[in-house]
């Protein structure tokens, strides 16, 4: 696919940044992905296990359509996509221009290790004598000053920590490839001339500045200074004003005539305004008053140096910018630290716990041991809300992730610790707000025996005799209880990433009161500056799924910006190269080996190895290149492949992964399909066998590696694949805010959209909602969106219409819709988005229907809007949360009810502050910044009383003839029964989905047990269905706010655009096919295909494989009893050949 | 069982509730986490925990509040205020409760009310506390001969260490009278 002319910049290479970059790359935009760290992956590179599977699964984010454009590698090891240019150790220092045409200045931290030359052998680290705390293991283990930032990264190149490095140079001596260039740091190239007649002054300045790393020359008079600057170039001059002979001002004039670029700072003891002004007029940048502080002086010089460096930053053009700067864990050692973090070594943070049990963690084995003495942990506690929901640490917000990670960690602790491990979670509200979260919590409690205690631990201290940690918390009747634990985990919350303020300033975007990026109302991914968007936890605490959704939605907005600026057009030039058809040729492999600059261990004879390989009849020739990793080496290789006579290419080098992009480019040059080219690792055997085993063993291992590679290339099927044409239009089912937003997003990219709405008007739940707890007016959103929908020529709205039937697959669906008056009609479309929404659940609980005083939240909302409530006549209001929800059969949190309740409280209290408001709740769910409204509601005087499912409130009629209802409940803190006489009882009944199973089924998607759209993967593919081309958004996907619906709509539209942006989809090189002569149509392969790529053709009675949907997993091939289902390139015979080669 | 809190019948004494309003206002944002109760060094001596007390306050249960001695036992160490995740001025709220009890002259708190009053009386007279005078005033106001006897051993020990000396109560300089008057006026106004 040809790339588009617009380039997108994604800042931050964590999970959100990777998602945003992949999204934009998959829709054809070239992307520059920068991260200030020396590696990608963000915090997730440190987290091995994710809820709810307690495994990883990041690879599910890899491209599924046009798979071969990216490397199919574990994403924790690295990212490669032909449209993504990755720049690590790079920061954004400024953004100029406007949406569509930004000029971004990027600054790269100088690297000391050449990543191309480094082979990751680790000799440098062995030689390094510095030892510092390892950030990767959250400081729990030590590393050297030259180190691997992430142990599992590929290619794994060493980096130097400039702060820890002593520049001793030992690593340079041992590096076999000369990859380390401990060149003088930038500051030493910044030369400063100090001119002062007093020796002590100039000498101390020299000393101070040299300590900061600058190179300094001193002279004692104006004459000497003028002589010296003619001989030597200086970037900066510190110039005394009052000197015998030529005075400073005179020197300044002459120096500025000669070198106008030199920065001059005057120094004077007589800081009269006149001299300073005169000097500044003549071109001095600033002046310093004597005597001055060494730090002031150094600060000034550093400021000048950094400003100059920043000005020299590289500039790139970008149509849109997506910030995914992420967040940081709260450091509990700052603040009051009553939990003794960093005081007692068995008190760890959640992240440290993850590292402790990781296979790549400090212990290495992943067993759960006490850091203090290495004994197994038998009793462990989690303390929630550390650095969250805490007004004393400026965090009047909920971090939203800690509850779920604490539950996950408590489950993992059971796996990694002894069987009888006791785990306790101390919490205030368990915020299980997402899909399946409540069931996960219930399982932890009932199946795994995790103990949940409501209450806040205020102190952790160590028993000096037993060494155990004593956790003290308020128990029954609020009496202090003290319990012994082996380990305490602090569930630390999310804080804005360090440097967020600086970056926001450089980018010209606004922050919210908590220091995160401020999003626009209803569109959190949009920042205050046009064309700059924000994904992931940069705009507020988020979990993985929310981050992925917000990153998708940000990349959609970025793509729309570039599209409307005319940057969505593909670059001119030839389309995908027409590769030579080699299907009728016998395999001929050309082998090119890297000699590694002669640094191979002794005893290895590459010529002998080559001779052996040449004996293979499939090998065309074997030749050598001195060092492929260098530019010259690669050019020499490119030269060697120009001559014809072969149809497969095998390169023997190191780190095959690093060559993925280059091999693809080379393929385009020589017209050879890149799937017929391969790079084989011949350097790793050296490390695996070690030098002491001798050259013979290594050479043998190298031969095995190469023979296997040759065997694999032989078996690659060169048959060109059939592409699948795409109908470039979309169907959106459901005209609520999610459906409308998604339809508009797709239409704005120039594709037809059919929007099907069952009712008379689009709008969905926005028809009865009026405002949000934040005070944003939903009517404006509705009006604005419906108007845009009506005006947009590409959006075809079908109201009073339902979907009757549908068939087809990604790229080509055929759906019959029926409109009430005009009858059925069939639409052809490439993708489908299901946005059927949800509605307020009905209830029969708590006396609903027996009194006019008992209403649901929706009814209250409608009454408020109709001004049908006389606030002065109300004395007391009661609200019951979680009505029929968060317990079987509707065991999920509906997410919107708690914020709605807070909104209603504040509305009522505003109208009449004397109304008593009582809220009966189980856990108040106000994740993220909604927490501040919870605080406001309490401040307004609402009384919150928790209840449990074991002792629910009871509603009865009040006095005869009275309008009040009486609610009896138990107040757990007072340990007393409470009776509330309420004029109004509001029931929060939650949300049920509107998604009929037949509708989902018609498109090949599924409903989950609660009737919501089943996503392919809750974290990594939250809006896709397993069947490609079918997406869900809005409440159909799961309960959510308006903001959430808009975000999922954006995400679903972005996923759809990956497909719509192509005329035709070409299948990947490795897909499955069926040998019909052997197939008995037992259909077992259809059942095991996780992607729904297989179907049976009723006309021919043959099993068909949709090559675009097939992900080449091989399930079918291993299931097929007849070997009729095969995976291209992995035929049984060839696989056995390869195994033979390895075992040789 | 009789409901402890009933929104219709609870706390009929509306004037008391009104007096408690400033303290209640301090505590509104309370999330009932119990950090105050857990960190209070005097909690073991209290009949109900601070968390329980605040819950009574927030549910307008004025009568129950003045059945407990919890706030009277607050030694103003400020640990709870320091640790409260909501940043509430808990110690100040305790003082406000003490003030209400004093202004209402509630018999349950007679001892501590008199104790504080005697202390302040001595301050008013001399601009500082004179221990012996302060205790004499206190014993006199309590009108109970047993109390001075209880304090005798402590007094002897303190005297032996020259921590207190015998002083005859006097009217003092009365220079602070104007200030105390003004303070009372302000209190009465609010």
**A1121, burial (CB in 10 Å: exposed 0-12, middle 13-18, buried 19+):** exposed
What's the rounded Cα separation, in Å, for the pair A152 and A760?
A: 56
Tokens of A811: 């790229």
Instruction: Please check the confidence at residue A533 and state whether its pLDDT lies above 80.
Output: yes
Chain B contact for A456, CB < 8 A? Answer: yes
Q: Which fold has domain A589-715?
A: Rossmann fold (3.40.50)
Q: For residue range A585-596, what is the model confidence (pLDDT) as tens digits?
A: 888 999 999 887
**B125, burial (CB in 10 Å: exposed 0-12, middle 13-18, buried 19+):** buried
> Is B51 in contact with A478 (Cβ distance < 8 A)?
yes
**Do B185 and B123 share a structural domain?**
yes
Residues 6+ apart with CB under 8 A from A1102: A1074, A1076, A1079, A1081, A1096
Count: domains in chain B: 2
Cis before A291? omega within 30: yes
Region of poorest pLDDT, from A357-361, A515-519, A808-812:
A357-361
pLDDT of residue B3: 46
**Rounded CA Rg of chain A:** 34
pLDDT of residue A1143: 79
Chain B contact for A453, CB < 8 A? Answer: no
CATH numeric code, A725-732+740-837+994-1041+1050-1065: 3.50.50.60
**Do B51 and B120 share a structural domain?**
no
pLDDT of residue A721: 73
Region of poorest pLDDT, from A116-120, A527-531, B75-79:
A116-120
- φ/ψ of residue A1143, rounded to 5: -80, -10
Look at residue B41 and tell me if it is in a domain. yes
What's the rounded Cα separation, in Å, for the pair B52 and B5?
A: 13
Q: How many CB atoms lie within 10 A of CB A888?
A: 9
The ipTM is: 0.85
Q: How confident is the model at residue A823 (pLDDT cuts 50, 70, 90)?
A: confident
The whole-number average pLDDT for the span B14-27 is 87
Chains A, B: CB contacts under 8 A, how many? 114
Look at residue B40 and tell me if it is in a domain. yes
Residues 6+ apart with CB under 8 A from A35: A11, A12, A13, A14, A17, A42, A87, A88, A89, A90
In B, minimum Cα distance to A397 occurs at: B86
**Do B116 and B100 share a structural domain?**
no
Look at residue B116 and tell me if it is in a domain. yes
The whole-number average pLDDT for the span A579-585 is 82
The whole-number average pLDDT for the span A1057-1077 is 89
pLDDT of residue A182: 67
Q: Which fold has domain A186-315?
A: Rossmann fold (3.40.50)
Q: Which of A61-75, A106-120, A901-915 has the highest mean pLDDT?
A: A901-915
Q: For residue range B159-182, what is the model confidence (pLDDT) as tens digits?
A: 899 888 877 778 888 789 899 999
Region of poorest pLDDT, from A163-167, A259-263, A1136-1140:
A163-167
**Do B87 and B150 share a structural domain?**
no
pLDDT of residue A230: 86
Alpha-carbon distance values, A490 to A347, A421, A457, B36 (Å):
7, 18, 11, 19
Instruction: Say yes or no: domain A1072-1127 is CATH 3.30.70.20.
Output: yes
| Full 3-state SS string of A537-587 | HHHCCCCHHHHHHHHHHHHHHHHHHHHHCCCCCECCCCCCCCCCCCCCCCC
Residue A288: in which H helix or E strand, if any?
strand A286-289
Query: How close does chain B come to A886, measured CA to CA in Å?
Result: 22
**A722, burial (CB in 10 Å: exposed 0-12, middle 13-18, buried 19+):** exposed
CATH superfamily entry for domain A8-100+319-326+497-564: FAD/NAD(P)-binding domain (3.50.50.60)
Query: How close does chain B come to A543, measured CA to CA in Å?
Result: 23
pLDDT of residue B8: 56
Burial A909-931 (b: 16+ CB within 10 A, else e): beeeeebbbbbbbbbbbbbbbbb
Burial A48-84 (b: 16+ CB within 10 A, else e): bbbbbeeebbbeebbbbbbbbbbbbeebbbbbbbbbb
Residues 6+ apart with CB under 8 A from A570: A2, A3, A4, A5, A28
Residues 6+ apart with CB under 8 A from A573: A2
Q: For residue range A940-969, what is the model confidence (pLDDT) as tens digits?
A: 999 999 999 999 999 998 777 778 899 999
Residue A313 near residue A93 (C-beta atoms within 8 A): yes
Residue B172 near residue B125 (C-beta atoms within 8 A): yes
**Rounded CA Rg of chain B:** 19
Q: Which of B6, B7, B51 sits opposite A474 (nearest CB)?
A: B51
> Is B34 in contact with A473 (Cβ distance < 8 A)?
yes
**Do B22 and B98 share a structural domain?**
yes
For A:27-66, CB contacts with B below 8 A are: none
Q: Which fold has domain A840-990?
A: FAD/NAD(P)-binding domain (3.50.50)
Query: How close does chain B come to A565, measured CA to CA in Å?
Result: 48
pLDDT of residue A705: 87
| Chain A residues lying within 8 Å of B32, measured CB to CB | 944, 973
Look at residue B147 and tell me if it is in a domain. yes
| Chain A residues lying within 8 Å of B83, measured CB to CB | 336, 338, 458
Chain A contact for B49, CB < 8 A? Answer: yes
Instruction: Please check the confidence at residue A271 and state whether its pLDDT lies above 60.
Output: no
Domain finish residue from B62, B78, B104: B104
Q: For residue range A992-1049, what is the model confidence (pLDDT) as tens digits?
A: 999 999 999 999 999 999 999 999 988 999 999 988 999 999 999 999 999 999 999 9
Q: Which of A474, A918, A982 sits opposite B37 (nearest CB)?
A: A474
**Do B100 and B18 share a structural domain?**
yes
**Do B92 and B18 share a structural domain?**
yes
Q: For residue range A159-188, what is the model confidence (pLDDT) as tens digits?
A: 888 778 877 888 888 888 788 876 545 677
Average pLDDT value for chain B: 87
Helices and strands, number each (H, E), in chain B? 10, 1
**Do B145 and B83 share a structural domain?**
no
pLDDT of residue B163: 86
Domain finish residue from B70, B104, B138: B104
Q: For residue range A186-211, what is the model confidence (pLDDT) as tens digits?
A: 677 788 999 988 888 889 888 888 87
Q: For residue range A295-333, what is the model confidence (pLDDT) as tens digits?
A: 788 888 888 887 777 666 789 999 999 999 999 999 999
| Of A1064, A1054, A1078, the residue nearest A1107 (C-alpha) | A1064
The whole-number average pLDDT for the span A489-493 is 95
pLDDT of residue A1: 61
Instruction: Please check the confidence at residue B1 and state whether its pLDDT lies above 60.
Output: no
User: Which structural domain, as residue segments, surrounds residue B58?
Assistant: 14-104
Q: How confident is the model at residue B2 (pLDDT cuts 50, 70, 90)?
A: very low
Q: Which fold has domain A330-493?
A: FAD/NAD(P)-binding domain (3.50.50)
Alpha-carbon distance values, A801 to A110, A735, A737, A825 (Å):
61, 11, 17, 10
In B, minimum Cα distance to A973 occurs at: B52
In DSSP terms, which residues pair with A317 in a beta bridge?
A: A103
| Chain B residues lying within 8 Å of A943, measured CB to CB | 58-59
Strands (E) across A858-960 are located at 876-880, 916-921, 943-946, 954-957
pLDDT of residue A904: 96
In B, minimum Cα distance to A916 occurs at: B7
Residue B149: in which H helix or E strand, if any?
helix B146-160
| Of B58, B4, B7, the residue nearest A985 (C-alpha) | B7
Delimit the CATH 3.40.50.2300 region(s) of chain A: 186-315
**Do B134 and B81 share a structural domain?**
no
Residues 6+ apart with CB under 8 A from A49: A55, A56, A354, A408, A412
Chain A contact for B33, CB < 8 A? Answer: yes
**Do B100 and B118 share a structural domain?**
no
Burial A379-404 (b: 16+ CB within 10 A, else e): bbbbbbbbbbbbebbebbbbbbbbbb
Instruction: Please check the confidence at residue A573 and state whether its pLDDT lies above 70.
Output: no
| 3-state DSSP percent of chain B in helix, strand and coil, to 5 | 60, 0, 35
Q: For residue range A860-917, what is the model confidence (pLDDT) as tens digits?
A: 999 999 999 999 999 999 999 999 999 999 999 999 999 999 999 999 999 999 999 9
For A:268-297, CB contacts with B below 8 A are: none
Delimit the CATH 3.50.50.60 region(s) of chain A: 8-100+319-326+497-564, 330-493, 725-732+740-837+994-1041+1050-1065, 840-990
> Comparing A407 with A723, which gets the higher pLDDT?
A407
In DSSP terms, which residues pair with A613 in a beta bridge?
A: none
Residues 6+ apart with CB under 8 A from A1082: A1121
| Of A269, A268, A263, the residue nearest A303 (C-alpha) | A263
Residue A794 near residue A753 (C-beta atoms within 8 A): yes
Geometric angle at alpha carbon A488, from A327 and A429, rounded to 5°: 65
Query: How close does chain B come to A400, measured CA to CA in Å?
Result: 17
pLDDT of residue B4: 47
Angle between helices A15-26 and A1042-1060 (to 10 degrees): 40
**Do B158 and B120 share a structural domain?**
yes
Q: Which of A458, A938, A978 sits opposite B83 (nearest CB)?
A: A458
Domain finish residue from B104, B132, B157: B104
Look at residue B115 and tell me if it is in a domain. yes
Query: How close does chain A come to B45, measured CA to CA in Å?
Result: 11
> Comparing A71 with A1117, which gets the higher pLDDT?
A1117
Average pLDDT value for chain A: 89
Q: For residue range A51-62, what is the model confidence (pLDDT) as tens digits?
A: 888 888 888 888
Instruction: Please check the confidence at residue A583 and state whether its pLDDT lies above 70.
Output: yes
Instruction: Please check the confidence at residue A287 and state whether its pLDDT lies above 50.
Output: yes
For B:157-176, CB contacts with A below 8 A are: none
In DSSP terms, which residues pair with A976 in a beta bridge?
A: A971
Region of poorest pLDDT, from A720-729, A823-832, B32-41, B115-124:
A720-729
Q: For residue range A1088-1103, what is the model confidence (pLDDT) as tens digits?
A: 998 888 989 889 999 9
The whole-number average pLDDT for the span A847-858 is 93
Q: For residue range B99-127, what is the model confidence (pLDDT) as tens digits?
A: 999 888 888 999 889 999 999 999 999 88
């Amino acid at each position: 696919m040809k790339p588009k002319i617009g380039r997108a910049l994604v800042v931050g290479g964590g999970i959100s940044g990777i998602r945003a970059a992949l999204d934009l790359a998959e829709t054809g935009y070239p992307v520059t992905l920068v991260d200030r760290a020396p590696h990608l992956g963000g915090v997730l590179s440190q987290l091995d296990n994710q809820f709810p599977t307690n495994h990883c699964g990041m690879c599910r984010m890899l491209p599924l359509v046009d798979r071969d454009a990216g490397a199919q590698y574990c994403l924790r090891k690295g990212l490669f996509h032909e449209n993504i240019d990755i720049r690590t150790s790079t920061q954004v220092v400024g953004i100029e221009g406007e949406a569509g045409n930004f000029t971004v200045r990027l600054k790269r931290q100088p690297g000391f290790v050449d990543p191309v030359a480094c082979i990751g052998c680790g000799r440098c680290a062995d030689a390094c004598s510095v030892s510092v705390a390892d950030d990767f293991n959250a400081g729990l283990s030590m590393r050297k000053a030259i180190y691997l930032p992430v142990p599992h990264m590929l290619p794994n190149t060493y980096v130097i920590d400039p702060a820890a490095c002593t520049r001793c140079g030992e690593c340079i001596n041992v590096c076999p490839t000369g990859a380390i260039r401990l060149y003088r740091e930038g500051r030493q190239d910044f030369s400063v001339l100090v001119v002062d007649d007093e020796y002590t002054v100039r000498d101390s300045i020299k000393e101070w500045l040299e300590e900061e790393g600058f190179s300094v020359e001193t002279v004692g008079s104006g004459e000497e200074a003028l002589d010296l600057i003619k001989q030597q170039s200086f970037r900066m001059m510190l110039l005394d004003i009052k000197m015998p002979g030529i005075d400073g001002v005179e020197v300044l004039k002459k120096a500025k005539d000669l070198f106008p670029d030199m920065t001059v700072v005057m120094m004077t003891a007589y800081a009269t305004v006149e001299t300073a002004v005169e000097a500044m007029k003549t071109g001095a940048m600033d002046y310093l008053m004597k005597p001055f502080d060494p730090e002031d002086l150094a600060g000034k010089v550093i400021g000048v140096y950094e400003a100059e460096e920043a000005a020299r930053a590289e500039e790139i053009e970008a149509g849109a910018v997506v910030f995914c700067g992420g967040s940081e864990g709260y450091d509990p050692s700052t603040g009051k630290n009553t939990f003794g973090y960093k005081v007692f070594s068995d008190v760890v943070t959640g992240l440290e716990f993850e590292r402790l049990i990781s296979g790549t963690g400090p212990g290495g084995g992943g067993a759960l041991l006490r850091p203090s003495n290495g004994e197994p942990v038998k009793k462990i506690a989690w303390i929630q809300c550390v650095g969250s929901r805490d007004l004393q640490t400026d965090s009047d917000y909920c971090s939203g992730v800690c509850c779920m990670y604490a539950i996950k960690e408590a489950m993992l602790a059971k796996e990694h610790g002894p069987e009888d491990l006791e785990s306790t979670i101390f919490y205030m509200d368990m915020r299980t707000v997402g899909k399946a979260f409540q069931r996960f919590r219930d399982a932890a409690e009932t199946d795994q025996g995790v103990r949940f205690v409501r209450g806040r631990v205020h102190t952790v201290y160590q028993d000096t005799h037993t060494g155990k940690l004593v956790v003290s918390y308020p128990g029954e009747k609020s009496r202090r209880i003290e319990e012994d634990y082996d380990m305490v985990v602090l569930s630390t919350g999310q804080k804005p990433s360090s440097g967020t303020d600086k970056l926001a300033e450089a980018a010209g975007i606004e922050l919210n009161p908590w220091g995160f990026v401020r999003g626009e109302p209803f569109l959190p991914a949009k920042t205050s500056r046009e064309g700059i968007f924000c994904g992931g936890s940069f705009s507020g605490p988020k979990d993985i799924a929310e981050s992925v959704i917000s990153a998708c939605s940000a990349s959609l907005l970025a793509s729309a910006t570039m599209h409307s600026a005319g940057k969505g057009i593909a670059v001119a030039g030839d389309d995908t190269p027409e590769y030579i058809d080699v299907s009728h040729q016998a395999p001929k492999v050309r082998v090119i080996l890297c000699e590694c600059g002669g640094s191979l261990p002794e005893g290895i004879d590459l010529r002998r190895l080559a001779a052996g390989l040449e004996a293979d009849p499939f090998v065309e020739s074997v030749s050598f290149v001195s060092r492929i990793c260098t530019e010259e080496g690669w050019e020499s290789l490119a030269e060697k492949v120009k001559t014809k006579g072969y149809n497969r290419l095998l390169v023997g080098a190191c780190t095959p992964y690093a060559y993925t992009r280059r091999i693809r480019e080379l393929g385009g040059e020589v017209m050879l399909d890149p799937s017929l080219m391969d790079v084989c690792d011949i350097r790793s055997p050296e490390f695996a066998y070690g030098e002491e085993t001798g050259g013979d063993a290594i050479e043998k291992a190298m031969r095995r590696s190469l023979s296997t590679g040759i065997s694999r290339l032989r078996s690659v099927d060169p048959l060109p694949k059939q592409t699948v044409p795409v109908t470039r239009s979309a169907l959106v089912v459901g005209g609520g805010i999610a459906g409308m937003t998604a339809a508009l997003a797709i239409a704005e990219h120039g594709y037809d959209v059919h929007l099907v709405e069952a009712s008379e008007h689009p709008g969905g739940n926005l028809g009865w909602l009026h405002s949000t707890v934040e005070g944003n007016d939903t009517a404006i959103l509705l009006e604005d969106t419906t108007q845009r929908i009506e005006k947009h020529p590409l959006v075809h709205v079908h109201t009073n219409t339902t979907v009757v039937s549908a068939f087809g697959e990604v790229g080509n669906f055929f759906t019959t819709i029926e409109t009430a008056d005009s009858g059925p009609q069939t639409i052809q479309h490439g993708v489908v988005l299901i946005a059927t929404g949800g509605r307020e659940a009905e209830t029969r609980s708590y006396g609903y229907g027996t009194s006019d005083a008992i209403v649901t939240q929706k009814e209250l909302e409608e009454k408020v809007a109709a001004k049908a409530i006389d606030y002065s006549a109300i004395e007391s209001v009661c609200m019951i949360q979680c009505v029929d929800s968060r317990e079987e059969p509707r065991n999920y949190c509906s997410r919107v009810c708690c914020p709605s309740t807070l909104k209603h409280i504040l509305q009522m209290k505003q109208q009449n502050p004397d109304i008593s408001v009582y809220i009966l709740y189980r856990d108040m769910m106000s994740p993220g910044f909604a927490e501040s409204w919870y605080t406001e509601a309490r401040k307004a005087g609402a009384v919150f009383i928790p209840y449990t499912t074991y002792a629910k409130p009871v509603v009865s009629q009040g006095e005869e003839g009275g309008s009040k209802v009486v609610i009896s409940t138990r107040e757990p803190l007072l340990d007393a029964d409470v009776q509330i006489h309420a004029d109004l009882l509001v029931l929060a009944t939650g949300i049920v989905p509107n998604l009929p199973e037949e509708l989902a089924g018609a498109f090949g998607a599924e409903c989950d047990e609660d009737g919501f759209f089943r996503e392919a993967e809750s974290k990594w593919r939250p809006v896709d269905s397993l069947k490609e081309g079918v997406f869900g958004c809005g409440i159909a996907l799961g309960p959510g706010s308006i903001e959430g619906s808009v975000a999922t709509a954006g995400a679903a539209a972005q996923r759809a655009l990956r497909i719509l942006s192509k005329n035709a989809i070409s299948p990947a090189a490795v897909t499955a096919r069926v040998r019909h002569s052997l197939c008995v149509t037992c259909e077992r392969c259809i059942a095991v295909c996780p992607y729904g790529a297989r179907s049976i053709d009723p006309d021919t009675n043959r099993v068909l494989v949709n090559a675009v949907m097939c992900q080449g997993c091989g399930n079918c091939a291993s299931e097929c009893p007849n070997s009729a289902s095969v995976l291209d390139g992995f035929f049984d015979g060839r696989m056995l050949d390869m195994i033979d080669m390895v075992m040789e | 069982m009789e409901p402890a809190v009933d929104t219709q019948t609870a706390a009929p004494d509306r004037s008391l509730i009104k007096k408690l309003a400033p303290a209640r206002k301090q505590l509104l944002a309370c999330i009932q986490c119990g950090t105050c109760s857990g960190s209070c060094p005097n909690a073991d001596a209290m009949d109900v925990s601070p968390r329980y007390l605040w819950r009574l306050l927030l549910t307008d249960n004025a009568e129950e509040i003045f059945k407990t001695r919890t706030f009277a036992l607050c030694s103003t160490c400020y640990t709870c205020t320091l640790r409260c995740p909501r940043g509430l001025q808990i110690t100040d709220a305790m003082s406000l409760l003490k003030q209400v009890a004093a202004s209402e002259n509630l018999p349950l708190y007679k001892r501590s009310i008199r104790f504080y009053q005697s202390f302040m009386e001595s301050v008013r007279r001399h601009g500082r506390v004179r221990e012996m005078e302060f205790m004499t005033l206190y014993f006199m106001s309590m009108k109970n001969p047993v109390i001075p006897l209880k304090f005798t051993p402590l007094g002897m020990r303190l005297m032996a260490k020259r921590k207190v000396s015998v002083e005859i109560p006097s009217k003092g300089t009365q220079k602070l009278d104007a200030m105390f008057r003004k303070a009372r006026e302000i209190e009465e106004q609010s």
